[in-house]
Structure 1
Amino acid sequence: MSLGPAKLLDSVISARLFLALGIATLVVSCAATAPAFAFELFGRKFFEGTNAEVAVVPDAQPYTLDLSVGADEEIAEAVRSASALHRERDRPPPGAAGLLARARGDYARIMAALYARGRYGGTIRILVNGEPVEAVTPDAALPDPAPVSVTVDPGPLFRFGEISIEGLPATAITVEDRDALDFDDWELTEGAEARSGAVLETEGRLVEVWRQRGHPKAKVASRDLVADHRTRTVDVTLVIDPGPEAQLGTVQVTGTERVVREFVRRMTSIAPGEPYDPDTIRRARERLQRLGVFSSVSIAEADLVGADGLLPITFNISERKRRLIGGGASYSTLEGASLEAYWMHRNLFGRAESLRFDAAVSRIGAEDLQGLNYAAATTFRKPGVLTPDTDLTLQLAGKREFVDAYESRSVNIRGGLEHRLSNKLTGSTALSVERTYVEDAFGSNRYTIVSLPSELDYDGRDNKLDPTRGLRAKVNAEPLFELEGSTPALVARASLSGYFSLSDDDRTVLAGRGALGSIVGGKLADIPANRRFFLGGGGSIRGYEYRSVGPRIGDEVVGGLSFWEASIEARFRVTETIGIVPFIDAGAAYAESIPDLSEDIRVGAGLGVRYFTGLGPLRFDVAVPLTPRGEDSSVAFYVGLGQAF
């Protein structure tokens, strides 16, 4: 059998491609490669690949395949990915009937792959045992193995001709409409390659315009594609049916076990009777996911809008285990090893209240047991206290910090609120009382501090552990009053990091970070050492010891009242699991609230290796100080999880 353009080349051929378009999307989305090794643990297979053991098929009909595609490699690869004969060539089908079904199904699959790449005049010829596949009967006796050949001529590239869209809103296009249409990435335009995926993608955007306008059942009423083989163009006519306008109806919740169902309903923040908006439903789902008590949250809209204009919504949830433990570790040749562990209960009283105990010890190996740092904290968190987007946090924490610059012991109790202002912006404020003992260059001192630490956090990164695009910005302000010396002060800090992908596959990323801060009010000795600004270490200027960069009194670093620091990295992904990261860090801290930029700057540079895992990249960095003091080490190594920033 041969499929090709009509013999009457001067005629216009109308082809309604509903099935082919759907298959094209399925073929494109399902094409993937698998690892080439596997192992089994507790009855489950991991990393199973194409060489894994194949189940024996009764009455299997082996075959050999000769697949020929007269086109460039991109189309040839698309045809190979679409062809079941090629993909399943190591899995013989059951009998001749199974082989024939697989071969005949390849006509639609391969044609759909060609349509997806703008090829509407292709020919496909499939032979089984030298005969056209449609001429072979299911009970035919085939040799073992049966010879199968597939010959594909993709034909010429077609481009879009006239585009007609009916059913768009009569009113002016809104900002939400533009976001839904995404004109910056619009492919269905006259003269563009007539890829079938562009039609399907455009349909989704047009439907989304009506959904954003409160029409939940908008759909594509009809789709007409007319291919003209004389001009090699495809005319497209789409008709959109907006369906009825609706309001959100009752909210149902299924799957709850220990979480109170009414609490879940309240946390969606959906009020029955409000206008239908898919963004409202999306935010409700994200809000439930952020609670941390559900392993899955799915949404089911009613099939029809009710006679009252209401559309009921059902949230189907699955609960996580309530208790969990976790931990982490990092290492530096200058700072030693750090270990962290925590235990957490995620649903104390049925409304996603969490209780968490944290413990950490650091500088292991860098100092003897007397020089270790310890920290412990107990944190209670209750979501939805004032609004569904507002959380209450209570914390009791203790810390002992021993570094070359100072030794401190502190106990802190705080309570505060955190409110999510948008999907990317969070604000928080708290009341904190801290009792601190500090021994440093200014002697031994005790401090009692009452403060109001507040923060704005914008997180527009695409990935928290391995970002490739977006920005992260934080602004911290802590007005405080030190009771022992009657000293008021304001500690302010701001940071900004940005990520820019230099390639479409995100294999080359330029990352930058900057931070600055200042303490206003009081002299250097009036501010506890653990509040002053110190630089150096794996999260600051790599190559210098932790908290070793700052103003000095004699040979002792005392920290500063202002600082700035910056870093830049070029992140190259060499293979799927290995990355190389050259970097440079710089910064300085100052004794006054306003930086004196004439003072020396500390600069460190180095090279890192990243090993990419499902949890994020493992980080191995080596750095050297470029502007060292006499006591600075010549090289430092760092190990951790996630990118440096």
Structure 2
Amino acid sequence: MFLKKLSTCFCLLPIAISAAISYNVEFEGIQDIRLLKAVKSASQLSSQKKRPPNSIHALRYRAEEDVPSILSVMHSYGYYEAKVDIQIHSSLDRNLVSILIYPGARYRLKTFDIHLDTDIEDTCAFMRLNHLGIELNKPIHTRNVLNAELKTLRLLAEHGFPLAEISSREIVADGRTKEVTVDLYIKTGQLALFGPLTITGSPGVKSRFFRNKVTWEEGDIYDSRLVEKTQSKLIDSELFSSVLVRYKGQIDADGSLPMQIDTSEAKHRTINMGLSYQTVFGPGVTFGWENRNIARMGRRLSLQGDLTHMIQTGIAKYWHPDFYKVGQDFISQAEAQRDSLYAYSSRSYNAQARIERKFNEHVSFSYGVRPEMLYVSESVENGKFWLLEIPLYLRYTTTNSLLNPIKGITLEYVAIPTFNMKDTNEKYLYQQISESTYWPLDKKNRVVFAQKIKVGSILSHNLSEIPVPKRLLGGTDEDLRGYRYRTVSPLRGRKPIGGRAAIYLNFELRFQVTKSIGLVPFLDLGNVQTYEHLALHGKWFKSIGLGLRYFTFVGPFRLDVAFPLDRRKHIDSVYKILVSIGQTF
């Protein structure tokens, strides 16, 4: 009896499987690719095609269930008179579902009016329709209307009304004129001022540190942008694993809104160790220690060592944020470095103290002093040098990101007057100016053209006053990527002399192929000369290559393969591989 039932089950199984109705779907009547994609995304016939129904009646039921969803999408794109007709064509070998869509006229947005229950001065100055992403007399899109509502609330929060809320909306479509009017009614609430601040969750950090990071004063009109900026500054300090800056409760009788900063402290001391490999320096080891909360004020003390076959470096660094002024930092460091390069070998011991000042989000400046003891050997001019450098640095940028910029411009100027303490008559002035520009070539910023020009100059009585390591030598991962590291310059025999003037041009076309993968073909040009002033004649070196980018939350992981087009047989290899974090420039 058991075997009989079992055989019956096995006999019924193929019948159940064969009962599934496979089908194909066709959408007709829509020319707009984006609209067609949205319709397909809303369709169960498309999304559940791999789970076919068990009968033709179930297929028809699934198709009929698609009609409200498709009409909803059509309405959101402004096709309020759209109609949908579904036809199922069945045969022995296949079933075809034809979805015929008749869009009708597309309605346009005639007016978009915002009604506030409070009379706010200069409302029009900050709440213009173009700020909200609204264009009149253009086809209406529900997504744009909803985004405009969110932007309206955000703008109100930026101008003192963080508790504003939408009380109602009226959307009227005129079937005769094919136009839509939108009226948005907003309850703004009372004008809010920044109130008293409460800090929780950080016993290991002094309250004065928080006060230095807060970007508003008590009694100022509430501005959500200042709240976001304060939160970003606290996160960037790396003292906290989580930060939330928010208002607490309701507006008091005097108009003040209590503020609160909730934090969770991270570990302030870290140890790092790692391995690396590059065709330039070979295998390497890196290690370090850091305390990010000296004196409970976010001051940093770090020790870092990097060892490769060609370069060994040790750095001790102290960083004091908000030094006498908010936004002004003091940095002091001591460094020892040994280089064994093709152009020279050197040992360097230096100390440095500098002030860094950020005037605003676009402009920063630094100045300092750096004494250095430098020993140079295995170069065209060896010697022992006691140098005193006074580095000056100025930067202007409008780029959107440090590690992966896709738009904007960056200008940098560096000047380093240098004095030889052994011979006060020997001195020189190093100067460098660079410009980087980024142009997105499509609306989604998936293709970006990036270019950089860098010009360097060293003013001196003669070339011999400048130690070889301080001269201009191309071939780094920032200029001529295809050539041997720091060898591009006029030669004496096979040894690079180094130059007093140089110009480098870099061009990249950055493609973001997928969400995490990018490709970057590039071209580098450069000219290094022994003359004091730059001349465009002479030997121009060129390199080309292809880079791979893997986008992470930290920044793009960069792997470049570069080829020298003017390869010097006994100096340069056929190709060079470069690996780092962040775009080249």
TM-score range, shorter chain: 0.7 to 0.9
Q: TM-score, normalised by structure 2?
A: 0.81
Structure 2: distance between partners of 1:437 and 1:197: 66
**Residue 270 to residue 360, structure 1, CA distance change in 2 (3 Å):** same
Q: Is the aligned partner of 1:387 residue 2:333?
A: no
Q: Give the one of 275, 278, 295 matched to 2:241.
A: 295
Name the aligned partner's letter for residue 399 of structure 1.
Q
Q: Is the aligned partner of 1:194 residue 2:140?
A: yes
Structure 2: distance between partners of 1:427 and 1:491: 17
Q: Which residue in 2 is equivalent to 1:529? A: 468
Does the 8 A contact of 1:181 with 1:205 survive in 2?
Answer: no
Deviations 1:604-624 (A, max 9, x none): 223333444555444343333
Structure 2: distance between partners of 1:151 and 1:435: 80
Name the aligned partner's letter for residue 504 of structure 2.
E
Q: Which residue in 2 is equivalent to 1:144? A: none
Structure 2: distance between partners of 1:208 and 1:69: 39
Deviations 1:181-223 (A, max 9, x none): 583x764333212111222222333344444443433444442
Structure 2: distance between partners of 1:412 and 1:349: 26
Q: Give the one of 332, 344, 349 matched to 1:411.
A: 349
Structure 1: distance between partners of 2:573 and 2:271: 38
Structure 2: distance between partners of 1:182 and 1:533: 53
Q: Which residue in 2 is equivalent to 1:251? A: 197
Name the aligned partner's letter for residue 559 of structure 1.
G
Structure 2: distance between partners of 1:558 and 1:464: 34
Q: Which residue in 2 is equivalent to 1:136? A: none
Note the C-alpha offset of 1:77.
3.9
Structure 2: distance between partners of 1:562 and 1:251: 55
Q: Which residue in 2 is equivalent to 1:449? A: 387
Q: Which residue in 2 is equivalent to 1:135? A: none
**Residue 112 to residue 449, structure 1, CA distance change in 2 (3 Å):** farther
Does the 8 A contact of 2:381 with 2:467 survive in 1?
Answer: no
Q: Is the aligned partner of 1:376 residue 2:336?
A: no
SS in 1 for 2:354: strand
Name the aligned partner's letter for residue 165 of structure 1.
I
Name the aligned partner's letter for residue 520 of structure 2.
V
Structure 2: distance between partners of 1:597 and 1:422: 36
**Residue 201 to residue 573, structure 1, CA distance change in 2 (3 Å):** closer
Note the C-alpha offset of 1:395.
1.0
Once the two structures are superposed, the pairs formed by residues 420-499 of structure 1 within 5 Å of their partners are 420-439=358-377, 441=379, 443-486=381-424, 487-499=426-438
Stretch deviating more after TM superposition (461-470 or 509-518): 461-470
**Residue 235 to residue 64, structure 1, CA distance change in 2 (3 Å):** farther
Once the two structures are superposed, the pairs formed by residues 250-329 of structure 1 within 5 Å of their partners are 250-326=196-272
Q: Which residue in 1 is equivalent to 2:10? A: none
Q: Which residue in 1 is equivalent to 2:292? A: 346
**Residue 278 to residue 585, structure 1, CA distance change in 2 (3 Å):** same
SS in 2 for 1:530: helix
- Where does structure 1 lack aligned partners over 5 or more consecutive residues? 1-61, 92-101, 127-148, 365-371
Structure 1: distance between partners of 2:417 and 2:548: 40
**Residue 271 to residue 465, structure 1, CA distance change in 2 (3 Å):** closer
Higher relative contact order (CA 8 A, sep 6+): 1
Structure 1: distance between partners of 2:504 and 2:124: 45
Name the aligned partner's letter for residue 361 of structure 1.
L
Deviations 1:434-465 (A, max 9, x none): 11112254543222222222222334333433
SS in 2 for 1:279: helix
SS in 1 for 2:294: coil
Name the aligned partner's letter for residue 38 of structure 2.
A
Name the aligned partner's letter for residue 111 of structure 2.
E
Note the C-alpha offset of 1:426.
2.5
Structure 1: distance between partners of 2:102 and 2:272: 55
Deviations 1:533-577 (A, max 9, x none): 110133320221111112344442121222111111122334445
Structure 2: distance between partners of 1:242 and 1:602: 63
**Residue 188 to residue 442, structure 1, CA distance change in 2 (3 Å):** closer
Q: Is the aligned partner of 1:572 residue 2:521?
A: no
Structure 1: distance between partners of 2:98 and 2:196: 55
SS in 2 for 1:204: helix
Q: Which residue in 1 is equivalent to 2:545? A: 606
Q: Is the aligned partner of 1:117 residue 2:117?
A: no
Q: Is the aligned partner of 1:633 residue 2:579?
A: no
Does the 8 A contact of 1:440 with 1:558 survive in 2?
Answer: no
Structure 2: distance between partners of 1:398 and 1:532: 19
Q: Is the aligned partner of 1:510 residue 2:449?
A: yes
Note the C-alpha offset of 1:409.
0.7
SS in 2 for 1:281: helix
Structure 2: distance between partners of 1:240 and 1:327: 56
SS in 2 for 1:539: coil
- Where does structure 2 lack aligned partners over 5 or more consecutive residues? 1-19, 52-61, 87-96
Once the two structures are superposed, the pairs formed by residues 28-427 of structure 1 within 5 Å of their partners are 72=30, 74-79=34-39, 81-82=41-42, 113-121=73-81, 155-156=103-104, 157-167=106-116, 170-171=121-122, 174=125, 177=126, 181=128, 183=130, 187-326=133-272, 331-333=277-279, 335-362=281-308, 364=309, 372-427=310-365
Stretch deviating more after TM superposition (488-497 or 441-450): 441-450
Structure 1: distance between partners of 2:202 and 2:45: 45
Q: Which residue in 1 is equivalent to 2:490? A: 551
Name the aligned partner's letter for residue 494 of structure 1.
I
Q: TM-score, normalised by structure 1?
A: 0.74
SS in 1 for 2:180: strand
Q: Is the aligned partner of 1:592 residue 2:552?
A: no
Name the aligned partner's letter for residue 116 of structure 1.
S
Structure 1: distance between partners of 2:85 and 2:241: 48
Does the 8 A contact of 2:509 with 2:522 survive in 1?
Answer: yes
Does the 8 A contact of 1:415 with 1:432 survive in 2?
Answer: yes
Does the 8 A contact of 2:76 with 2:141 survive in 1?
Answer: yes
Q: Is the aligned partner of 1:621 residue 2:556?
A: no
Q: Which residue in 1 is equivalent to 2:522? A: 583
Does the 8 A contact of 1:510 with 1:570 survive in 2?
Answer: yes
Name the aligned partner's letter for residue 461 of structure 1.
T
Does the 8 A contact of 1:207 with 1:219 survive in 2?
Answer: yes
Name the aligned partner's letter for residue 398 of structure 2.
G
Stretch deviating more after TM superposition (346-355 or 607-616): 607-616
Q: Which residue in 1 is equivalent to 2:93? A: none
Structure 2: distance between partners of 1:105 and 1:484: 89
Name the aligned partner's letter for residue 643 of structure 1.
Q
Deviations 1:578-600 (A, max 9, x none): 44332211112222331132222
Note the C-alpha offset of 1:267.
2.1
**Residue 65 to residue 599, structure 1, CA distance change in 2 (3 Å):** closer
Stretch deviating more after TM superposition (407-416 or 441-450): 441-450
Structure 1: distance between partners of 2:98 and 2:361: 51
SS in 1 for 2:80: coil
**Residue 75 to residue 604, structure 1, CA distance change in 2 (3 Å):** closer
Root-mean-square deviation over aligned CA pairs: 3.7
**Residue 313 to residue 68, structure 1, CA distance change in 2 (3 Å):** farther
Does the 8 A contact of 2:110 with 2:181 survive in 1?
Answer: yes
Does the 8 A contact of 1:252 with 1:265 survive in 2?
Answer: no
Q: Which residue in 2 is equivalent to 1:644? A: 584
Note the C-alpha offset of 1:384.
2.1
Deviations 1:300-336 (A, max 9, x none): 1244322112122212222222233446666554553
Structure 2: distance between partners of 1:261 and 1:152: 66
